[in-house]
Amino acid sequence: MKLHELADAFEHLEGTRSRVALVERVAALLRRATATERTPIVYLLQARLRPPFEQTEVAVGEKLLAQAVARAYHVSHARVAQRLARSGDLGLVAAELAAARLASRLTVHQAYDALLAIARVSGTGSVERKTSLLASLLSRAGPAGAKLVARVAQGRLRLGVGDQTILEAAALAALGDRSKKPLLEHAYNVRSDLGTVVDLAFTKGAAGLAGVGPEVGIPVRPALAQRLPSAEAIIARLGEVQAEPKYDGFRLQIHRRGSRVWAFSRRLEDVTSMFPELVAAARRQLVPRTAILEGEAVVYNPETGEFLPFQITMTRKRKTRIAEAAERTPVRLFAFDLLYTGRRNYLPVAQATRTHALRAALRASPDAPIAVTEARVIARPRELQTYFDEMIERGLEGIVAKRLDAPYQAGARGYAWVKLKRAYQSALRDTVDVVLVGYFRGRGKRAALGIGSLLGAVYDPRGDRYRTVAKIGSGLSDRAWTSLRTLLDAHAVPERPVNVDALITPDVWVEPAIVVEVLADEITRSPFHTCGRHDDEPGYALRFPRVVNAPRSDKAPTDATTEREILTLYRQQRRTPTEARPRSRNTRARGTAKRAPR
């Protein structure tokens, strides 16, 4: 397949608003691709070159890419800057400047291999080398191909094609029926390499997908917990449970094969180099020489028993001065699950058995960097409430209750695990993770900052879409607002992203990429938001939302709170109105005196 043919296919995807049509077009593209082209095309649909845990991305900044464009087409930097100011998209600028050239014969394979080579350039002189290689590729790509190359280089394809859409399209193309998507989804959750999983569907079919198990060095997509409003509700739904502390830390998956150890974040990033003390501990403490375990890393003071805030733990997520940070703020991993050893795949095994195996697999001591999290089997609501109160007293977020007979549900949010967090003085008893899809420039004092409020959305996995749920105007300092605006501007787009459903139009649209944690008083019905909206029925919105943690760099957009969770929280708050304390008239955050549509 020629690069310009793939670029034309991507152009059609970008202009497709119907999800049904989007799935069919991606399926047609996958059928058309050769066996060797299929995997690279899947990665390119994800706006990446390899799976996230390999960290192989071109990821060049706007300045470097502009230099490459100017060099490729023998024009001045000023001319590129002028065109960029007009279009706001270096992909379009590259296409315009390449328009006078002959049609390109460059193939998908040639372009993909060239992009991989650019991504792998490092060391002294790497900036000049990357610029030169990128300019060479752009000069050979033709107009359509140049647009694609420039956007891939920035990691911004704007197709509106998420993983769920690709999985459904692959089910249709490879297995003949989009309803067989769960087979691919299961394989992808266990082995988080979408290109390989799609290729497996074409080459091995349903039987090959069913046989996928964990592999050391490839992260398993983490299981997620549902919410319930009280200890009574948890016991009523789950029965006897295994209750564990809920730490406000950095979720990690530790993989070991002999002396080789990996650490992966919940976003499937390889963060091994950031936690040298845990890598060394895994070699000493893990009994099996081949294993995968999961836990929560927190900055912890063993002398006082104090757990430090999430913001401090997150300072360990860095690429420089790692040894200094490890000495200043050492982390402890509280392991809570065993997923695999060289002898057994523990994913389908009951929770109680996995916990027993975890204790046997780890050499523990009071001051060891890796500890097995405490776990208590509880059958009565009052006892569960008492345990919850104990965890709050210790400064933790709450508890996680786990069904004793449940398997590990990779990549799923189900009632095998249920979290119960501290109640707030509001009807809404938990924070919400929202994806930012736009911002408003603001008035008065905020006008000087260039940003006044945010448009937040939640994720709809079934539609692979983001639906708005809040306009957020408080919770951040002026400095934090400015920093957040810089992050958002890096993802700004000229029009509403195709995978965003919104009735409100912000001053600046942004691609769904940044997640923030939000606290609100309650969830209300709203005619202004699309979360839960059907036909002429109003949607749902967060009332008086304020940012409490931004950005949540440990979470991907698809890790955000889902539309279904918002509806569940709405029903829970309406069933338990007496549990919420009345909101004072004075609790409204500063800067929100003038109420905007929510």
DSSP-assigned states of every residue in 257-279: ETTEEEEEETT--B-GGG-HHHH
Give dist(CA 81, CA 597) in Å, integer. Answer: 37
Catalytically annotated residue among 2, 180, 181, 246: 246
At 15, phi and psi to the nearest 5?
-90, 5
Distance between CA atoms of 220 and 93, rounded to whole angstroms? 40
CA distance 304 to 107: 62
Q: Look at phi and psi of residue 489 and say left if phi exceeds 0, alpha if psi is from -120 to 50, else beta.
A: alpha
Tell me the CATH class for 432-579: mainly beta
Give me the sheet containing 413-421, strands edge to edge: 224-227, 413-421, 398-403, 241-246, 376-378
- And the tokens for 299? 């900055």
User: Which residue reads 């399926």 in tokens?
Assistant: 27
Distance, CA of 479 to CA of 474 (rounded, Å): 13
Residues of the chain with pLDDT below 70 are: 100-103, 301-306, 308-314, 318-319, 325-326, 423-429, 574-598
Q: What separation in angstroms does the CA of 417 have from each of 234, 244, 408, 546?
A: 10, 10, 9, 27
Q: Which of 156, 173, 142 is nearest to 29 (CA)?
A: 173
Q: HSE-up of 160 (CA within 13 Å, CB side)?
A: 26
Residue 116 CB-density burial (10 A; 0-12 exposed, 13-18 middle, 19+ buried): middle
- In terms of residues, how long is the chain? 598
Half-sphere exposure of 592 (CA within 13 A, CB side): 22
Pairing of strands 250-257, 508-510: unpaired
Tokens of 223: 């299981």
Q: At what angle do helices 163-175 and 181-190 cross, to 10 degrees?
A: 120
How far apart are the C-alpha atoms of 223 and 216, rounded to whole Å?
A: 17
For residue 32, the one-letter residue type is: R
Task: Please indicate, yes or no, whether the overall pTM of this predicted structure exceeds 0.95.
Answer: no
CA distance 529 to 543: 12
pLDDT at res. 428: 66
d(CA 66, CA 591) in angstroms, rounded, equals 39
The set of long-range contacts for 310-316, using a CB threshold of 8 Å and a minimum separation of 24, is 310/248, 310/249, 310/250, 310/549, 311/549, 313/248, 313/249, 313/250, 314/250, 314/553, 314/554, 316/250, 316/274, 316/275
**Side-chain half-sphere of 476: how many Cα atoms within 13 Å?**
24
Beta-strand relationship, 508-510 and 539-543: unpaired
The CATH class of 224-421 is: alpha beta
By C-alpha distance, which of 56, 216, 19 is closest to 152?
Answer: 56
Whole-number Å distance between alpha carbons of 106 and 361: 52
Q: Residue 427: what pLDDT?
A: 62
246 an active-site residue? Answer: yes
| Strand, coil or helix: 220 | coil
∠ CA 400-404-406, nearest 5°, is 95
Of 54, 445, 83, nearest in space to 264 by CA = 54
If residue 87 lies in a helix (H) or strand (E), which one and from where to where?
A: helix 77-87
**Encoded tokens for 518:** 């939000």
pLDDT of residue 579: 40
∠ Cα 213 219 223 (to 5°):
80
First to last CA, the chain: 47
Is 538:439 a contact under the CB 8 Å cutoff?
A: no
Look up residue 47 and give its two tokens. 């706006």
Please give the Cα distance from 588 to 345 (Å, whole number).
51
Quote the CA–CA distance of 413 and 407 in Å, as a whole number.
13
> What is d(CA 216, CA 244) in angstroms, rounded to the nearest whole number?
26
Sign of CA dihedral 40, 251, 573, 414: positive
The string of pLDDT tens digits covering residues 230-289 is 999 999 999 999 999 999 888 999 999 999 999 999 999 999 999 999 999 999 999 999
Fold that domain 3-154 belongs to in CATH: DNA ligase i, domain 1 (1.10.3260)
